[in-house]
C-alpha cells in the first residue's frame, strides 16, 4: 500500500505515534520476567533439599551405631537407596519446571522496544536517501519503529499468554507434589533423624552414668546438631511455602494473561516475587 | 472419594516413626530395669519400625512422582514453544540488523564514500553471519 504523505490525516498520525508508543511500552513482560526469575531461583534451591533426603536416611542409620565404632564407610541400607532414587526423579521433575520458568523469563525479557528502535533507525537511514522532507523522514521512522514494537511485543505477549494458560494446571499439580514431598515426607524424616540422634546420646549417657565430662561434650554437640536440624526443618517449610506462593502467582498470571492489564498484573506479580525472594534465605542458610 | 496413596504413605510413615520412638523412649526410661537381652530386642524392634517408616517415605515420594509425571510432557512442550517464540523474535531483530547493514552499504555506495564502504561490507557480513 502506498502511503500518501500529503494527506490531511498525516499530522494526526504523527500526533498519535507517541501516545501509541506509550501504550505499548507497558511493563507487563518485565513483571513476568521478575516473577519467573524468582521462580527459577526458588526451584534451583530445592536441589539441595532433594539431595539431603537420602543423606538424612543415612545419617539416621548412623545413629544406630554405638559411639566409638569408628566405621570406615557409611551405612548403606537399601531403603536409603530407594529414597535416593525417588529423590532423583523428583529433582528431574523440578528441573522441568525450572526450565519452563527460565524459558518464560527469557521470552519475557526480550526487548521489544529494542527491535522497534532498530527498525526506526533503519527507516530513518533509508528515507534520508529519498527526497522526503526532514519531518516526513522523522515521522516515517517513528511509525516504522512503532509498528515493529507493536508486532514484536504483541507476538511476545501472545506467546507468553498461550504458554501460561495452556499449562497452568500442570504447573499447579507439579508444584503441589514437590511441596508435599519436601514439606511433609522429608520433614517427617528430619524430625525422626533428630529424635534418633537424641536417643543415641541419651543411651550413651545411660551406659556411662556419672560421666560428667562426656555429658558436657555430648551436650555441646547436641546444641550444634539442634541448630542444624532447626535450619533444615525451617528450610523444608520455607520451600513448601515458596512453592505454594509460586503456584498462586502462576494461577494469577494465567487468570490475567489474556487481558494483560499491565499495571495490575505488575503489582500482583511483584508481591509474589517479593514473597519468593523473602523465603529464599531460609532455604540457602541450611544447605549453602 | 479416590484413595490418595501419597497421603496414606505419609500417615503410615509418621505412625511407624512415632511407634519406633515410643519403643526407644520405653527402653531408655527402663534402662536400668531391663536385662541386656531385652534391651537389644527392643532396640532391634525400634529399628525395624524405623525402617518401615523410611520405606513409607520412599513410597510417598514414589506416589507423588507418579502423580506428577503425566503433567511433565505438557510443561516440556510449553517450554519448547516459549524457546521457539524467543528464537523467532531474535530472528526478527537479526533481519532488521541485516537490512540495516545493507542500507548503510547502499548509502555509502550512493554517496561515493569509498572510505566507509569497506566498513559497511564488513558490517553486513557480520550481521548475516551473527
Nearest CA in chain A to B94: A115
The structural domains of chain A, with segments of one domain joined by +, span 27-109+167-287
CA distance A226 to A151: 58
Per-residue pLDDT of chain B (130 residues; tens, 9 = 90+): 567 899 999 999 999 999 999 999 999 999 999 999 999 999 999 999 999 999 999 999 999 999 999 999 999 999 999 888 888 888 777 776 666 666 666 666 666 676 776 776 666 566 555 4
Cell of A163: 504458554
Q: At what angle do helices B36-68 and A78-108 cross, to 10 degrees?
A: 30
CA distance A254 to A78: 43
Contact A171, A97 (CB under 8 A): yes
pLDDT digits over A73-120, tens only? Answer: 778 889 999 999 999 999 999 999 999 998 888 888 776 666 667 666
CA distance B33 to A178: 46
Q: At what angle do helices B5-29 and A134-180 cross, to 10 degrees?
A: 50
Nearest CA in chain A to B109: A129
Residue A149's CB is within 10 A of a number of other CB atoms, namely: 24
Distance between B75 CA and the closest CA of chain A, angstroms: 6
Q: How many interface pairs between A and B have CB atoms less than 8 angstroms apart?
A: 187
CA distance A85 to A92: 11
The predicted complex's ipTM stands at 0.77
Contact A132, A52 (CB under 8 A): no
For A:95-154, CB contacts with B below 8 A are 96-97, 99-100, 103-104, 106-107, 110, 112, 114-115, 118-119, 121-122, 125-126, 128-129, 148, 151-152
For A:28-67, CB contacts with B below 8 A are 53, 57, 60, 64
- The pTM for the full model equals 0.79
Contact A97, B74 (CB under 8 A): no
Taking CB atoms and an 8 Å limit, are A106 and B82 in contact across chains? yes
CA distance A162 to B81: 9
Q: Which helix (H) or strand (E) holds B8?
A: helix B5-29
Amino acid at each position: 500500500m502506498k502511503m500518501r504523505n500529503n494527506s490531511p490525516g498525516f499530522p494526526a498520525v504523527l500526533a498519535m505515534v507517541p501516545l501509541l508508543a506509550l501504550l505499548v511500552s507497558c511493563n507487563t513482560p518485565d513483571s513476568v520476567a521478575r516473577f519467573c526469575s524468582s521462580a527459577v531461583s526458588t526451584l534451583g534451591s530445592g536441589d539441595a533439599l532433594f539431595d539431603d533426603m537420602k543423606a538424612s536416611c543415612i545419617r539416621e542409620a548412623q545413629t544406630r551405631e554405638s559411639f566409638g565404632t569408628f566405621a570406615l564407610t557409611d551405612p548403606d541400607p537399601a531403603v536409603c537407596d530407594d529414597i535416593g532414587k525417588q529423590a532423583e526423579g523428583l529433582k528431574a521433575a523440578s528441573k522441568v519446571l525450572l526450565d519452563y520458568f527460565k524459558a518464560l523469563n527469557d521470552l519475557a525479557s526480550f526487548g521489544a522496544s529494542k527491535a522497534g528502535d532498530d527498525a526506526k533507525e533503519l527507516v530513518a537511514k533509508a528515507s534520508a536517501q529519498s527526497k522526503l522532507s526532514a519531518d516526513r523522514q522523522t515521522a516515517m521512522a517513528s511509525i516504522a519503529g512503532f509498528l515493529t514494537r507493536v508486532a514484536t511485543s504483541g507476538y511476545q505477549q501472545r506467546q507468553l499468554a498461550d504458554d501460561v494458560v495452556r499449562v497452568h494446571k500442570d504447573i499447579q499439580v507439579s508444584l503441589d507434589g514437590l511441596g508435599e514431598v519436601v514439606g511433609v515426607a522429608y520433614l517427617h524424616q528430619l524430625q525422626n533423624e533428630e529424635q534418633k540422634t537424641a536417643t543415641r546420646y541419651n543411651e550413651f549417657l545411660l551406659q556411662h552414668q556419672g560421666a560428667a565430662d562426656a555429658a558436657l561434650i555430648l551436650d555441646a554437640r547436641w546444641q550444634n546438631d539442634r541448630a542444624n536440624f532447626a535450619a533444615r526443618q525451617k528450610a523444608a517449610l520455607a520451600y513448601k511455602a515458596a512453592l505454594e506462593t509460586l503456584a498462586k502467582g502462576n494461577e494469577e498470571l494465567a487468570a490475567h494473561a489474556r487481558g494483560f492489564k499491565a499495571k495490575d498484573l505488575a503489582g500482583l506479580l511483584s508481591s509474589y516475587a517479593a514473597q519468593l525472594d523473602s523465603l529464599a534465605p531460609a532455604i540457602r542458610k541450611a544447605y549453602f | 472419594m479416590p484413595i490418595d496413596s501419597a497421603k496414606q504413605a505419609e500417615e503410615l510413615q509418621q505412625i511407624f516413626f512415632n511407634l519406633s520412638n515410643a519403643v526407644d523412649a520405653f527402653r531408655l526410661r527402663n534402662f536400668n530395669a531391663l536385662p541386656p537381652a531385652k534391651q537389644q530386642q527392643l532396640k532391634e524392634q525400634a529399628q525395624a519400625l524405623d525402617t518401615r517408616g523410611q520405606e513409607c517415605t520412599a513410597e510417598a515420594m514414589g506416589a507423588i512422582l507418579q502423580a506428577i509425571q503425566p503433567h511433565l510432557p505438557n510443561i516440556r512442550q510449553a517450554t519448547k514453544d516459549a524457546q521457539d517464540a524467543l528464537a523467532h523474535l531474535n530472528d526478527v531483530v537479526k533481519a532488521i540488523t541485516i537490512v540495516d547493514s545493507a542500507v548503510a552499504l547502499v548509502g555509502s555506495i550512493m554517496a561515493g564514500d569509498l572510505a566507509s564502504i569497506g566498513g559497511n561490507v564488513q558490517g553486513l557480513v557480520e550481521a548475516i553471519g551473527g
